[in-house]
Amino acid sequence: MEISRQGTTSVVRLEDVETFLRRVDPGSFFSAGVGNDGRFECLVRQFLASSTRLHHPGYMAHQVALPNYGSALADLISGVLNNGMSVYEMGPAAGAIEVAVIDWMLDKIGWPPTGRNRDQEPAAGRTPGGGVLTHGGTLANLTALLAARAASAPEAWAGGTPRDLVLLASPVAHYSIFRAAAILGLGTGAILPIPSDRFGRILPAGLAALVQRARSEGCRVMAVCVNACATATGLFDPLQAAGEFCRESGIWLHVDGAHGASALLHPALRQRLSGIELADSVVWDTHKLLGTSALATGVLVRDGSTLGRTFQQEAAYVTEGQRDTGVDFIESQFECTKAPLGLKLFLTLAVTGETGLAANIETLFSLTRRVHGQIASRNGFEVLCEPESNILCFRLRSGDDALQTRIRKDLMRRGEFLLSQADVDGQRWLRLTLMNPLTDETTIERLLDAIEALASGSQG
């Protein structure tokens, strides 16, 4: 890891599958196992050498955390205990820890706790919140939208998704939202794009007309789905206005906060999420800005009973008799067997603390603001917009879309930098996600020099 941190090796070594497997020789392991002949050490070396180095300062590509040691420890503990804890008796400690973590997330949003921990009952008269952890944001978005469908069309569980349901979504919603619409039987054609600015940030003033149009065509609006923040641009949708509209109109508001909900931890940054408490459901990845290892995502709901009505099944053989003492998460999640995901966040919080995590997030966000200024000041480059998170898009002014893609691939092949790309406002952009506090302005200066050299053809 130290070598990665120093940046003296390649951030990624991309070779074809055959070359890697020829070197590793899986057959020799599969048939005879590993003996005391040095092959295991060799395998570990090969595996590490061909793994993407997230601790490398040149790693700026995807929204995956440099994992907190607490979370890595949780993985080890979970791997040894193997408590598939969806049903309480299969992992009571893991179940109780998940309750604590969900209550913590609900509190950050501004919602009452679940009431499953009798030491933390919701205040009198307040509806308990609800939540469950899933293996990742993609499954979490599907779960939340299934809850929205159950609220609009409870008949859909038995009778299939009615043809009149539509989903209003940001045009730059994560692809998992489109997948969810397809899987839920709505079809991606049932997604109506919410009017937005050129960056894909929704214009809440356009919601009323869109809902009216949908209703006049005989459609039922199942949910409005917005970003906090958008994957491509890192921009936050205006949650307050969207929330007020949805509450007045009686429409389910889903906030995809997979990436950006972690900003709730920081007193100033949480302004970007102001109004989130008006949502009906929020998805929040812990393996992005909270720094846990992959994967663990909170599906949080303002009214806990909605999640309880989502999966309309009685599976008495697995759940009967547990409700008095424990919690059977299987009743409100897809997974039948689930890893003890809550322990990752619990131990991450235990190691770094809430204020420590908030400080990490602020470090990355302010680094991104400085890098934005740095890139904007270089003549050859154009930046998409002021960043609102740790995601930033820029491009070489002189080049077309194909050149941006070629440069990204060349950088990856050379191994010094790993970037991603995004298509926004009709153009292709190089995309930085600054996850590593070791990335600094010097790294960025070297990156920009390397891009210019590659564009001018002086480096291959």
Ligand X SMILES: Cc1ncc(COP(=O)(O)O)c(C=O)c1O
Q: Would you tell me which residues interact with ligand X (CB under 6 A)?
A: 63, 136-138, 141, 174, 176, 227, 231, 256, 258-259, 285, 295, 297
Q: Residue 20 or residue 178: which is nearer to ligand X going by CB?
A: 178
Choose between 6 and 188: whose C-beta lies nearer to ligand X. 188
In terms of CB distance, is 116 or 254 closer to ligand X? 254
Minimum gap (Å) between residue 136 Cβ and ligand X = 4
Phi, psi at 148, each rounded to 5°: -65, -40
Nearest CA to 95 out of 421, 332, 372 is that of 332
Smaller CB separation from ligand X, 285 or 335? 285
Answer for the pair 137, 258: CB distance below 8 angstroms, yes or no.
Answer: yes
User: Residues 270, 274, 278, 281: is their CA dihedral positive or negative?
Assistant: negative
Using the minimum distance from each CB to ligand X, give the nearer residue, 70 or 137: 137
* Sheet with 420-424, side-by-side order of all strands: 381-383, 391-396, 427-433, 420-424
By beta-carbon proximity to ligand X, the closer residue of 256 and 328 is 256
**Minimal CB distance residue for ligand X:** 137
CB of 385 to ligand X, least distance (A): 17
Task: Of 281, 345, 364, 331, give the one whose Cα is nearest residue 106.
Answer: 281
Residue linked to tokens 């740095």: 374
- Cβ proximity to ligand X: between 87 and 235 the closer is 235
Q: How far is the CB of 344 from ligand X (least distance, A)?
A: 13
> Rounded to the nearest whole angstrom, what is the least distance from the CB of residue 151 to ligand X in the complex?
21
Shortest distance, CB of residue 287 to ligand X, whole angstroms?
6
> Residue 360 CB, nearest distance to ligand X (Å)?
18
Closest approach, Cβ 256 to ligand X, in A, equals 5
By C-beta, is 97 or 341 nearer to ligand X?
A: 341
What do you get for the CA distance between the two ends of the chain, in Å?
Answer: 28
CA–CA gap between residue 399 and residue 111 (Å, rounded)? 48
Min separation Cβ 193 and ligand X, Å: 16
